[in-house]
Amino acid sequence: MIRARSLKLSFFLFCVLSLSQGNSPAQEYSPSSLEMTPCVSRILKDRGRDDFPMEKMDAFALMDIRTGRILWIENPKFLSSFVFQAGSTFKLVTAYAALDSGKVDIHDIFDCEGNPKPAKILDGRKKGSGVKCWLESGHGPVDLMRALAYSCNLYFARLAHAVPARELVKAARLFGLGQSTCSDIPGEVSGSLPQHVDLDDVERFAIGQGRGVAVTGLGLLSMVAAIANDGVLLRPTVKPVSENKISERGFVGNSQALEFIRHAMVQASQFGTGSQQSLYELGLAGKTGTAQWKDVPWRTHGWYVGYWPMQRPAFAVVAFVFSGTGSHEAAGLAKEAVGRFMAAEISCFFNVDFGWKDR
């Protein structure tokens, strides 16, 4: 029953999105022109959570990237009052710092060999930090864009030595990490960033596992929204924005770097770490993150941050899975949430009640 509805929903979304990108239908679906309507709100409130595949400590939020308005949030406490390692979502920051520094050739190819001995990672470096690539067999030759799409740890470990650590910390601050987003959700905490990154920790810092780094889900949501809206750091708000003026907290100024990162996030969905969940078909671009928090037994948190539609970004999403990985569970949760939001929007826009009616 659930699978049948899911297929029906996917097919409908595929048809509508195909129409909107091709010939002009009588009524074109244009997400960027839509506001959160009472109709969408009612559907999500009444039926959005039916059979939802999430656990008690999982969470997600969807946000309008032009206003900061949070359109749908589940488990807000986990996104606002708890801090975690950012995992590979932090590679977005590292990539920005590298691009902004002008010290990195984006066409420079690095050959990822998977799990070599640390001494082989970098020429001339005597002691390694133990960073390994998550893909044991290695990614082979990758440039910056593909390294971001595949989330290659070794490429980013190498970047950590090309860009001064202070620039990485500065970029993280620029994206608002380690600070409160000043949302209107009670009890929000700020997270943290280190004042200084030790040489033996810089590689782990670049891949989102550094000492002293702690982020909130809201912080990551605000960061990815700024990537999608070309640099404006917004204050997330659950109250209608008409009641709270749009509040800009900062500006991330290198537009070219942001455009590059958006392309990489599209590629992540197309053939990288987001491809297993077919996010490209949904028009969702993003970055996965898996943050280790326990050695024995091995445990990880899963993150997904993204935006949609790919062509004209209008919304951002963050998904957190307490016990899972970014590319599987968190990306899957984001897909489910975004899919249901889109279905509710389309349902209201075309005044049809597909899929929801038979429940």
| Contact set with Zn ion (CB under 5 A) | 112, 133, 139, 152, 154
Of residues 132 and 262, the one with the C-beta less far from Zn ion: 132
Say if residues 294 and 318 touch (Cβ distance below 8 Å). no
Nearer to Zn ion by C-beta: 36 or 154? Answer: 154
| Cβ neighbours for 181, distance < 8 A, ≥ 6 positions apart | 188, 216, 218, 219, 221, 222, 235, 236, 249
321 neighbors 300 (Cβ within 8 angstroms): no
Asked if residues 163 and 101 have their Cβ atoms less than 8 Å apart, the reply is yes
Bridge partners (DSSP) listed for residue 192:
214
Q: Closest Cα to residue 322, out of 133, 55, 40?
A: 55
Give the nearest distance from C-beta 220 to Zn ion in angstroms: 22
In the complex, minimum distance from the CB of residue 125 to Zn ion, in angstroms, rounded to a whole number = 17
Measured from the Cβ of residue 222, the count of other Cβ atoms closer than 10 Å reads 31
Whichever of 12 and 134 has its CB closer to Zn ion, that residue is 134
Closer of 116 and 339 to Zn ion (Cβ): 116
CB of 150 to Zn ion, least distance (A): 6
Distance of closest approach, residue 142 Cβ to Zn ion, in angstroms: 7
- Considering the complex, what minimum distance in angstroms separates the CB of residue 135 from Zn ion? 5
| CA dist list (Å): 320 to 106, 235, 313 | 30, 20, 21
Beta bridge partners of 248: 234
Our CB check for Zn ion shows the closer of 118 and 250 to be 118
For Zn ion, the closer of residues 292 and 311 by Cβ is: 292
Going by C-alpha positions, the residue among 306, 312, 311 that lies closest to residue 338 is: 306
Amino acid at 22: G
Closest distance of CB 133 from Zn ion, Å: 3
CB nearer to Zn ion: pick between 133 and 252: 133
Q: How far is the CB of 156 from Zn ion (least distance, A)?
A: 9
Q: Which is nearer to Zn ion, 142 or 319 (CB)?
A: 142
Pairing of strands 285-294, 299-308: antiparallel
Residue 11 structure tokens? 């097919």
Choose between 133 and 159: whose C-beta lies nearer to Zn ion: 133
Tokens of 30: 């244009």
Angle at 107 between CA 105 and CA 111, to 5 degrees: 105
- Shortest Cβ 57–Zn ion spacing (Å): 30
3-class SS string, 295-331: CCCCEEEEEEEEEECCCCCCEEEEEEECCCCHHHHHH
State the minimum distance, in angstroms, from the CB of residue 120 to Zn ion: 13
Query: What is the per-residue burial (b if ≥16 Cβ within 10 Å, else e) of 129-144?
Result: bebbbbbeebbeebeb
